[in-house]
A and B are shown apart, each in its own frame.
Chain A
C-alpha cells in the first residue's frame, strides 16, 4: 500500500513518499517518483490510483504555470491548495479522482506550509500529515517526536524513523522511499532511501 507523509520544519517543509508502482500482486517498478515539483517553491506528494495521480497532478501543474504567465506572479501555497481542492470537489460527484495529496510549499511572506487534501476534497492546513496504511505508523511516530521549529537534520531523522517503522511493521511494506524538501531556495529532491535496487541479472 502506498505511503506518503510530510511535516513542516522551522523554515522548510519536507515530504516523503514510497516509490513502488503496484498492480494487484505485481510490482511494476520500485523507483516511481510520486512527488511532483509543482513550481519553483511547491511540491505535490500524491498517492492513489496511478492513472488518476499522474493525470490530476499534471493538470494542476499546468494550470499553476498558466496562472503565473497570466498574472506575472506565482500562486501562493494556500491558493494552489484551494485550487487543487476545488478541482477535486468539482469532479467528485461526476468522475472522482482517487488521489490523496500532501501539498508542501514555501512562500516568502508566510514561510513553509503543508496541506492535507484527500480524494473527497477535504482540505486541512497541517503541521504533519500522512496517507495510506503507512500513516498508522508514521503519524504515531510523528506525534511522539514532532515539535515545531525542527531543523532539517531533526526532520530528516524523524522521516527516517517513520520509514524504519513502516518497513518493519507494515505487512506489504514498500522497500524504497524518496524524500523531497522545499525551502526559501526552492523545491528539490533531498534523498532516496532504497533497500531494494533494481539489479541487473548476470548473464549465464
Chain B
C-alpha cells in the first residue's frame, strides 16, 4: 500500500501530500521573485538568469499582464506558468463579458488558486510547479493589492512577499525593512530586497510597477541600473556614517 503516494497526489500515512511538497521544492529552485505593496502602487521584481547572448530578451518576459489592471510574476516551472496565465487571461475577459465588470484582484487570485488546487485532487495529473505573485488595483475601491498563491492552492494577501530561490533571506529583509511607502520608494524597497540574493545590475533583474493611472509599466534596464546605483550609494553612505561616530571614541 505504501510508496504509491509519492507518484500521485494522495495522502501519505502521516498526512502529507508528497506531490504538492515536491512541487514546492520546484518553486524553491525557481528564480527569485518579490512583490511590494505601496500606498499608491505595487511593484514586482524578478531575477533574470543571465540572458544567453543570442536570445531575444523580450520574448522571455517574466512579469505579465493578465488584464489592464492586474499583473502576475511567478517562480517555478515556466511551462506550467504559461498554462495558468492563459487560463487566467481568459477568465479575466470572460468575467468582463458576463458581468460587465473587470475582475477584482482577489477574484482572479481565488480563480488561479482554485485551479492549482483542482490539480491536487484530480486523477492522473500532477500539481502546477509554481507559486505566483499577483498584483493589481481593485477597479472600484482603487486600493492596491498583492496576493500570493502556491502549488497547494492556498492564497493570501501580503504587504510584501518573496518566493523562489532564497526567498527566506528576502522575506527576512522585508520583515526588517518594510514600511509604508509610495512611488519610487516602493520600487527601491523591492529592488533592495532582490539585491540581497541577486548579483546587482539591470541585466539580472526585471522590475515592473503597477499604478492606477498607467497600469503595468516595465522598467527599462537603464532605469534599473540608475536605481541600483542609488541604492549602492546609500549603502556606502550608511557604512561611512556608522564608522564616523566610532572614531572619536577610540582616541
The residues of A with any CB-CB pair to B shorter than 8 Å are 58-59, 62-63, 65-66, 69-70
Contacts and interface: CB of A to CB of B under 8 A. Distances in A.
A69 B97 contact: no
Interface stretch (B88-96, B148-156, B167-175, B229-237): B88-96
Contacts of B108: none
Given A59-B97, A69-B65, A69-B67, 12 more contacts: A58-B97, A62-B93, A62-B96, A62-B97, A65-B93, A65-B96, A66-B89, A66-B90, A66-B93, A69-B93, A70-B86, A70-B89
Contacts of A63: 93
A65 B94 CA distance: 11
Contacts of B86: 70
B66 interface: yes
Contacts of A62: 93-94, 96-97
A62 to B, nearest CB: 4
A63 B92 CA distance: 11
Interface in B43-90: 65-67, 86, 89-90
Interface string B131-170: 0000000000000000000000000000000000000000
12 contacts: A62-B93, A62-B94, A62-B96, A62-B97, A65-B93, A65-B96, A66-B90, A69-B65, A69-B67, A69-B89, A69-B93, A70-B86
The A interface, classified by DSSP as helix, strand, loop or mixed, is helix
Contacts of B89: 66, 69-70
The B interface, classified by DSSP as helix, strand, loop or mixed, is helix
Interface residues of B, number: 11
Nearest to A55: B97
Contacts of A70: 86, 89
Contacts of A69: 65-67, 89, 92-93
Contacts of A66: 89-90, 93
Contacts of B67: 69
Contacts of B65: 69
Per CB-CB distance, the 3 closest pairs between chain A and chain B, nearest first, are: A62-B93, A62-B97, A66-B93
A69 B92 CA distance: 10
Nearest to B88: A69
A70 B97 CA distance: 17
Interface in B80-124: 86, 89-90, 92-94, 96-97
Contacts of A65: 93, 96
A59 B93 CA distance: 9
Contacts of B93: 62-63, 65-66, 69
Choose among B90, B96, B97 the residue with the greatest number of A CB atoms under 10 Å from its CB: B97
Interface string B205-242: 00000000000000000000000000000000000000
Contacts of A59: 97
A164 B89 CA distance: 45
